[in-house]
Amino acid sequence: MNGAVTRRLRFLGVVAGVVLAWPASAQVPARSLYAGESLVFEHAQLIKPFEETNTAVAYALAPLLIQEVKGTNAGSPRPREVFFQFGSARLNGQDRVQVLYWWRRGGGEVSAATGRSILYPPRAAFMFESVTPKRARPINLEPSVRWQGLRLTLDDSGRPVIYEVLAAPAVLAQIYVAQSVEAAARTVFGAVLPGRRFAVEPSLETVPRVVVPRVVEDAPAVMGPILYLRAENREVATLICRCMASQALQLVDTGYYRLIRANPPTAIAVLTGSLEVSLRLPRAFSLGNTAAP
């Protein structure tokens, strides 16, 4: 009997040790995310959306992608596709407009014709294909697809103030906030919690897998952010407002992607958690908007 109890206690001790150690180990990648403020890409490719009149708001808020270029990692010259969907979330008792963007993340695919890395696979590789501006049908379901995405929460002027980076798979969830959100959090909550960098971040015990890598400037108009993608794995290294200084020294190429309204794949949908849990949002602070386009 004593042997069985001893074995059980040893097992529980191992489990507890793993659980207690996880938040500490999570700070290693968190520190690398904080370093995004000093990030500099020597060479990069700009990837931006085609202008389409039927997606006016989605176009204005669509992210610009700065893909780091190393060696032959210049991406495919064909147009890419990024999907989007408008929605809303109830925060502090009010409905807030959100817009979700997502795309398939490249992971070392190489073109047999050119021998060059492919940034985004062709159209047939995506899970959803546009049928009408507001409807979509599923195609080529691929459970192993690695997705990348971004969800914006807008203020009463339609400008983004919360930027959630969505990635499947990912160790930590990155959430960037505008200066106005962080300023309001500091006014209401005061000091930054232990192990955190910003007042808007909850305690590590509450949400150990969520990190706010940096605070970005408030957008002066309705505009999407800029995402910096690493050459090795296409993961988001940092995010800035378009109004901030560039962190790429030389743009060697410009590519384009097409915006398509669609329903998000499960891999992205399951990542869109509650902001009331992920952030400390002051109840007195209004983000505005009550109706999605």
pLDDT of the residue at 170: 72
pLDDT of the residue at 182: 95
- CA 158 – CA 221 distance, rounded (Å): 8
pLDDT of the residue at 114: 37
Q: Tell whether the torsion through CA atoms of 60, 218, 276 and 166 is positive or negative.
A: positive
pLDDT of the residue at 242: 93
- CA 72 – CA 119 distance, rounded (Å): 11
Place of tokens 């206690």: 9
Domain boundaries defined on the chain: 2-278
- CA 188 – CA 281 distance, rounded (Å): 9
pLDDT of the residue at 284: 59
pLDDT by residue, tens only, the chain of 293 residues? 455 444 443 433 433 333 333 344 445 456 667 777 888 898 999 999 988 766 789 999 999 999 999 876 555 444 489 999 999 998 887 888 999 999 987 643 333 333 333 333 333 222 222 223 344 434 333 445 678 899 999 998 999 999 999 987 677 889 999 999 999 999 999 989 999 999 999 999 999 989 999 999 999 999 999 999 988 888 899 999 999 988 888 999 899 999 999 999 888 888 888 898 999 998 755 554 444 56
- DSSP H or E run through 276: helix 275-278
Please calculate the CA angle 141-143-147 and round it to the nearest 5 degrees.
95
pLDDT of the residue at 9: 39
8 Å CB contact between 268 and 166:
yes
Nearby residues of 113 by Cβ (< 8 Å), 6 or more positions away: none
8 Å CB contact between 162 and 181:
yes
- CA 72 – CA 45 distance, rounded (Å): 12
pLDDT of the residue at 72: 60
- CA 277 – CA 186 distance, rounded (Å): 17
pLDDT of the residue at 235: 86
Q: Which amino acid is located at 78 in the chain? A: R
- CA 193 – CA 17 distance, rounded (Å): 23
